[in-house]
Amino acid sequence: MTVLVLVEHDNASVKDATLAAVTAAGKLGEVHALVAGQGAQAAADAAAKIAGVAKVLLADDAAYGHALAENVAPLIVDLMANYDAFVAPATSNGKNIAPRVAALLDVMQISEILSVESADTFTRPIYAGNAIAKVQSSDAKKVITVRGTAFEKAAKDGGSASVEAISGKGDAGLSSFVGAEISKSERPELTSAKIIVSGGRALQNSENFHTIIEPLADKLGAGVGASRAAVDAGYVPNDYQVGQTGKIVAPEVYIAVGISGAIQHLAGMKDSKTIIAINKDEDAPIFQVADIGLVGDLFKVVPELTSKL
Amino acid sequence: MKVLVPVKRVIDYNVKPRVKMDGTGVDLANVKMSMNPFDEIAVEEAIRLKEKGIATEIVAVSIGEAKAQETLRTALAMGADRAILVTAEGDVEPLAVAKILKAIVDEEQPGLVILGKQAIDDDSNQTGQMLAALTGRPQGTFASKVEIEGDTVKVTREVDGGLETVSLKTPAIVTTDLRLNEPRYASLPNIMKAKSKPLAQKTPGDYGVDVTPRLATLNVSEPPKRVAGVKVADVDELVAKLKALGVAA
């Protein structure tokens, strides 16, 4: 079986989510990587070095510059004549493009797989991660998105794949990119951070987030996350949100500060190796999943913790 | 323009789902069901477009068991004008839903279809994109802002690193993210009025769509349980634990 993997990149380098998708795809067969973009040669070169990638296809065209699904999906659909499966990381890009590909191929997508049981059988979370379904696909070609935290990341080095330039139909003329507001952060990216410090509604305002959560995160070299309540209240931008509808993370250590632990939040972090909860309500549901809990007022406890580290 | 809003009846988002002992699925008997939260946001957005004089008619659609009628009545009570119920037993997969919706889009010719970005039961996040593919229309997924400008729609999307804005030619497909709006509650008079709004009953066969699942669910199980943790008494003890974990020097 040959598998086409969609590479998530910023033209210069390959994003970590791709590495997990390569590992998942490798369980199915030979892995070819597709880099679609504009001026993406460097990303293609980086993809060629990923261990386990046999070949890189580079589609370099202005039409693919902003990963518009209307332009990228037909490119993939044409390539799929030669592939048995298409695998994308379950990033916002992958989630946007893959179902469009699946429908054009007339197959059901298997979303956010957690494991590959066999060539046609996979496990995936449903009901906000409260149940795990084992599903078997009867489609001839498989379209799959991969939950990045569920698979080991393939090594960034060690591969020596060839890069082949390809072209597609280009601009479908249905949509155009207007602009982006990307949050700037010096801290580790949430989905790949080893340690995450997350704050909830109990922080009360944006300023407290900056003065209480961020110093602790910086001391630990951690990424900063938030609950939906904290995002909705405007304490932090929405790409900080961890949960069913935000980012799914599985760091070594997840420190939840002032987060009650609603099921939608747990869906995004309960696969963390160690969960630490700081909350003044000893009955908060977060303590049912926390490995280490401290009942106390975060406004006293967290600054004390930061100073003692 | 006409706006089509597909809505799904799902387990209420506050209910903790229980996996059946025999591993066949999640127990939905006697569980509170509601409109999928992302679909409420979609209905709300359609109503706001009507209030701005952009949308002329709002058609709500649901596909599923007969009880999905309640979900449609909720949409009608919020402000949708009429509803279409496509009755089908068992789980209908996103691909089949998208095919039925395509047939309805062909018939109704809406300028905009607004769907939720995902249903909180199967967590697929596919239907809107699939509908866009099948109809050959552009897609604005995970929308946190929607602005109609003549024959284009400008959609601000929630993406991994922040926000991105795209411009789509109408007719277009939009899927809603949480921050698009705050859905309204239906008032009692509107709930009463909704009972007399038109609701057409259809079957997948009427649209020539085969709803046989492509994915067989072999087993549904509980996720691995986390072992109960310990509570520490003070910060010093927590610091010691962090040091033991190797995350603090």
Q: What are phi and psi of A272, to 5 degrees?
A: -60, 150
B121 — pLDDT class (breaks 50, 70, 90)? very high
Q: What is the pLDDT of residues B49-71, one digit of tens each?
A: 999 999 999 999 999 999 999 99
State whether residue A20 sits within 8 Å of chain B by CB. no
Per-residue confidence (pLDDT) for residue B161, from 0 to 100: 85
Q: Which of B132, B218, B222 sits opposite A131 (nearest CB)?
A: B222
Q: What is the pLDDT of residues A70-105, one digit of tens each?
A: 999 999 999 999 999 999 999 999 999 999 999 999
**Mutation target vs B (from A15, A122, A127, A189; most B CBs, 10 A cutoff):** A127
Q: What is the pLDDT of residues B86-101, one digit of tens each?
A: 999 888 999 999 999 9
CB contact (8 A) between residue B95 and residue A103: yes
* Residue A281 CA from chain centroid, whole number: 31
pTM of the model: 0.94
Residue with tokens 């994109």: B129
**Residue A290, by phi and psi: left (phi above 0), alpha (psi -120 to 50) or beta?**
beta
Q: Which of A107, A177, A231 sits opposite B166 (nearest CB)?
A: A177
**What CA–CA distance (Å, rounded) separates A309 from B191?**
57
Q: What is the pLDDT of residues A98-146, one digit of tens each?
A: 999 999 999 999 999 999 999 999 999 999 999 999 999 999 999 999 9
Q: Which of A191, A264, A305 sits opposite B238 (nearest CB)?
A: A305
Residue with tokens 């379209």: A143
**Mutation target vs A (from B99, B100, B139; most A CBs, 10 A cutoff):** B139
Average pLDDT of the residues of chain A: 95
Q: Residues A264, A228: contact at Cβ < 8 Å?
A: yes
Q: What are phi and psi of B69, to 5 degrees?
A: -55, -35
CB contact (8 A) between residue A244 and residue B137: no
Q: How far is CA A47 from CA A32, A43, B8, in A?
A: 10, 6, 40
Per-residue confidence (pLDDT) for residue A183, from 0 to 100: 80
Per-residue confidence (pLDDT) for residue B245, from 0 to 100: 87
Q: Which of A93, A127, A282 sits opposite B121 (nearest CB)?
A: A127
Q: Which residues of chain A have pLDDT under 50?
A: none
Return the residue of B nearest to A232 by Cα.
B179
State whether residue B20 sits within 8 Å of chain A by CB. no
Residue B249 pLDDT > 70: no
